[in-house]
Amino acid sequence: MRLYLKSVLCFSALLSVSAFASSSFTGVWSGEKDDTENQPLSTLSLDIKQTQQNISGSYCYISRRGARIDCPEEGESNLSGTLQGDSALVEFNSSFGGKGGKAQLTINQGVMSWQLLKQPEDGDYTAPDSYILHKEKEISGTNGVSKTLLTDKFTVTIRNSCGDFLQVCDKVYYQGVRNKDNSVLTLTGKTVSNINTQKVIGAAFKNGNVEYRVDFNPARLLVRQENKILVEQYGKWQE
């Protein structure tokens, strides 16, 4: 009887350890590849939810300096798979029509690696062969807050990955869409704080020698190249 009880306890402990080891897949994992001027050439983001040995979520790959965006509609799931210890085999679909792509996700010391195993079929797609992803920091139970600025010529979405929108953060994402032709630019920057109050008042980004500044109140987009102002537009935040 004691031997049977010990075996049950050991087996239960192994199950608990296994479940604990694989529970780290839940969250938003993101990474980027930069050019020689430290500007993003591409970004990959996986929003994953784990339920026991199954995972589901979304796959979003932005390449060609923001000119090609392969992301699902908001709230749509385009990725699913099963866990095998510290790895997962996932299947994903492209927003360009390709279906049934397969990849392996592996976590090692808190860093996730993406390895493409099979390209999507029956349609176009964009997907990297390999990528390194880091889990975005969670603050106050959230993976980040986004707000969209609307001006006459641009639609700009700012995402603070550190939690609250007004949280000081060194990793803020910019996605700007020019309304007349829907061209897209994505950048990574940081928040800007008032020197006296230390409160966050905006966010700043760089694309080569061009600086992008988004002020929160009043809402303004300012684009400057050295001392020359290229764009200055006031707008409003989308509700």
Q: What is the 3-state secondary structure (H, E, C) of 92-155?
A: ECCCCECECEEEEEEEECCEEEEEEEECCECCECCCCCEEEEEECCCECCECCEEEEEECCCEE
- Please name the residue that has the structure tokens 């050295």: 226
Structural domain boundaries of the chain?
Answer: 23-135, 145-237
Residue 108, classified by CB atoms within 10 Å of its CB into exposed (0-12), middle (13-18) or buried (19+), is: exposed
Q: How far apart are CA 150 and CA 177, in angstroms?
A: 10
| DSSP E strands, 35-92 | 40-51, 54-63, 68-70, 79-84, 87-92
Kindly report the number of other CB atoms within 10 A of residue 35's CB atom. Answer: 11
Tokens matching residue 136: 């975005």
The CA angle 160-59-121, to the nearest 5 degrees, is 155
Give pLDDT tens digits along the chain (239 positions): 444 434 433 433 333 334 334 447 888 888 888 765 555 678 888 989 988 899 999 988 888 777 788 888 767 889 999 998 779 999 999 988 999 999 999 998 888 999 999 999 988 888 899 999 888 754 333 457 889 999 999 999 999 988 788 989 998 999 888 887 777 788 889 999 998 888 999 999 998 788 999 999 999 999 998 889 999 999 999 87
23-135: CATH topology: Lipocalin (2.40.128)
